[in-house]
């Protein structure tokens, strides 16, 4: 039920600005739902992404290149790599990871705001 609700959020709020989802179940169904939610989002309106769920590669590619994103909380599991980070309006970032540091390579040469 949680995954289907997440999947419908953008139909209810197509120009969502703040997306905050805490205490989500840690499983692949939720990760897929959150990833699918991020793919069609309006990249010019999303300002906050505070979601404690893993994302798939395509969704990570979008998340770390959102031009208006100011607040980011990302959850990274395993030896996940990030695309080059381009977040020109970023003010606050929190990254939670369980192992490895491969994801840090995405910040090499990154474009980050304040």
Give the residue extent of every domain in the chain: 16-112
Q: Based on C-alpha coordinates, what's the Rg of the chain?
A: 13
Residue 40 has what pLDDT? 87
**Could you tell me the pTM of the whole model?**
0.86
Q: Tell me the angle at which helices 2-12 and 28-38 cross, rounded to the nearest 10 degrees.
A: 10
Instruction: Tell me the β-bridge partners of 19.
Output: 49
Residue 71 has what pLDDT? 96
- β-pair type (48-51, 18-21): parallel
Running DSSP on this structure, what letter comes out for residue 87? E
Smallest CA-to-CA distance from 3 within 55, 96, 27, 72 is with 27
Kindly write down the DSSP assignment for every residue of 60-79, as one continuous string.
HHHHTT-TT--EEEEEE-SS
For tokens 């505070």, the residue is 50
Instruction: Tell me the β-bridge partners of 73.
Output: 50, 94
What is the distance, to the nearest Å, from the Cα of residue 68 to the centroid of all Cα atoms in its chain?
13
Residue 114 has what pLDDT? 64
pLDDT tens for the chain, residues 1 to 114? 888 889 888 888 889 999 999 889 889 999 999 999 988 889 999 999 999 898 888 998 899 999 999 999 988 877 777 888 899 999 999 988 887 777 788 888 888 876
Q: In sequence order, what are the residues at sequence separation of 6 or more whose Cβ sits closer than 8 angstroms to the Cβ of residue 98? A: 76, 77, 78
């Amino acid at each position: 039920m949680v995954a289907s609700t997440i999947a419908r959020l953008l139909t209810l709020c197509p120009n969502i600005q703040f997306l905050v989802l805490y205490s989500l179940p840690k499983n692949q169904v939720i990760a897929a739902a959150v990833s699918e939610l991020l793919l069609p989002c309006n990249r010019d309106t999303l300002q906050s992404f505070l979601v404690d769920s893993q994302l798939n590669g395509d969704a990570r590619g979008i998340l770390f290149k959102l031009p208006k994103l100011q607040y980011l909380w990302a959850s990274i599991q395993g030896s996940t790599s990030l695309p080059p980070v381009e977040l020109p309006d970023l003010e606050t970032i929190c990254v939670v990871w369980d192992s490895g540091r491969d994801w840090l390579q995405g910040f090499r040469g990154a474009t980050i705001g304040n």
